[in-house]
Amino acid sequence: MSMIRNLPYEWLVGLRYTRAGKRSSRNSFISFISLISMSGIALGVAALIIILSVMNGFRKDVTDHMLSVLAHVEVFSKDGSMPDWQEQAKTLSKHPEVKGYAPFVQTQAMLLHGGSELRPAVVRGVLPEREPNVSDLAGQVKQGSFNSLRSGEFNIVLGVDLARALHVTVGDKVTMALAKGTVTPAGLVPRMRSFTVAALFRAGHPEFDATLAFIHIEDAQKMLRIDAPAGLRLRLADMHRAPEVAQELQRMVPSSLTVRDWSQLNATWFGAVQIEKRMMFVVLTLVVAVAAFNLVSTLVMTVTDKQADIAILRTLGASPRSIMKIFVIQGALVGVLGALIGVSGGVLVATNIDVIVPFIEKLLGVQFLSSDIYYISTVPSDMHWPDVAVIGVVSVALAFLATIYPSWWAARVKPAEALRYE
């Protein structure tokens, strides 16, 4: 209490105006409007934290599914062949972030089955014994075995959606046709080869499950008529450092090789996600802004009701700046309290969404994400503290801006006119 008494009088008056008033119905109504404004800011801040955390969770979940198939970094030759790939792999492995490598060949092809089913596919030639060093594909096989990819046997591993579209399962035959063909007197004839479906995988990402196919790297080289792998796929200790590490690796290899990280390989998707997150932040910030600017009406009503108090303070020697400071303090307190409550509530929900959502689903008897429709059946959440800090600062700044005009208006109250009818 002694600390409060030692505060400047602007703070004491501002705190008094912020508390619920019981002397009159008008004071109670003003306090009720302040409470609504505070609640609006709290709800807006909490909603912004929760929604951005859920969006981060979805992004992380999709990224994890993508990187279970994709490599963190790819190194490939500009001329399409890397005969010295083992030497380059030894050089790149000297970087402390590189934890595994595997050679690969990649091309686009058409897969046919039964004469009527035709689907485009991205065909990747891999070494089955080295592929676990750079991806989790072997663990995602649902039928068959990934190790069935053996040189010369021309087996193929398909995504479950691609196999469903072709109406094939393990043991069936598919025909692969490459755009690069053989020139004959009759024209360009596509290179075609029959493959046996050896396994089906589910990566958990619709694009990969519907378009990816894997064959042995030596079979791929025979199909493409090349003598060496096209490049290397690398796995890093920290995938988030991939852009930085890719630049460092580029300086370790000849200029004839190109190094790309996973964000460059999927630049369109990640760019779209970033734009969506920014737009969602702007939209939800407007919700917080609406709640913050409710403070304008609250402070205007307070200034109108307290004109006599303002006049008395002015006659006692209070400066216009001090009067302005009183109402800025009142509005800022409402904004800060609302932001603190919103941040606390948002963080609490975002960090426990894996418990809250199942409870709501059980209570209402519904399932928000059906496993029959979506590739995930739970609502993910990945809260980032920098996002929380930005949201808190923005909400307090908006609340502060909302106090400027009413406070300036209060500072212009003339004591003689305010006391004329008192």
pLDDT, tens only, 95-151:
999 999 999 999 999 999 877 778 999 999 999 999 889 988 888 889 988 888 999
Given this model, what pLDDT does residue 314 score?
76
Structure tokens at 74: 């790819």
Residue at 167: amino acid letter? H
> Over the stretch 26-79, which tens digit does the pLDDT of each residue have?
556 667 777 888 888 898 899 889 988 988 888 888 777 777 788 889 998 888
Closest alpha carbon to 20 in 10, 9, 33: 33
User: pLDDT digits over 393-406, tens only?
Assistant: 888 888 888 888 88
What are the tens digits of pLDDT across the range 7-24?
676 777 767 766 645 455
8 A C-beta contact, residue 52 and residue 390:
no
Choose between 309 and 171: higher pLDDT.
Answer: 171
pLDDT digits (tens, 9 = 90+) for 153-203: 999 999 999 999 999 999 999 999 887 766 555 556 678 889 999 999 988
Strand partners, 212: 122
Percent of the chain residues past pLDDT 70, beyond the cut = 87
Averaged pLDDT for residues 363-388: 74
Q: How far apart are CA 295 and CA 291, in angstroms?
A: 7
> Residue 1: pLDDT band by 50, 70, 90 thresholds?
very low
pTM, 2 dp: 0.72
Q: DSSP label at 422? A: -
How far apart are the C-alpha atoms of 220 and 155, rounded to whole Å?
11
Q: Which residues pair with 124 in a beta bridge?
A: 106, 214
Look at residue 240 in the predicted model and tell me its pLDDT.
Answer: 81
pLDDT band at 420 (very low <50, low <70, confident <90, very high): low
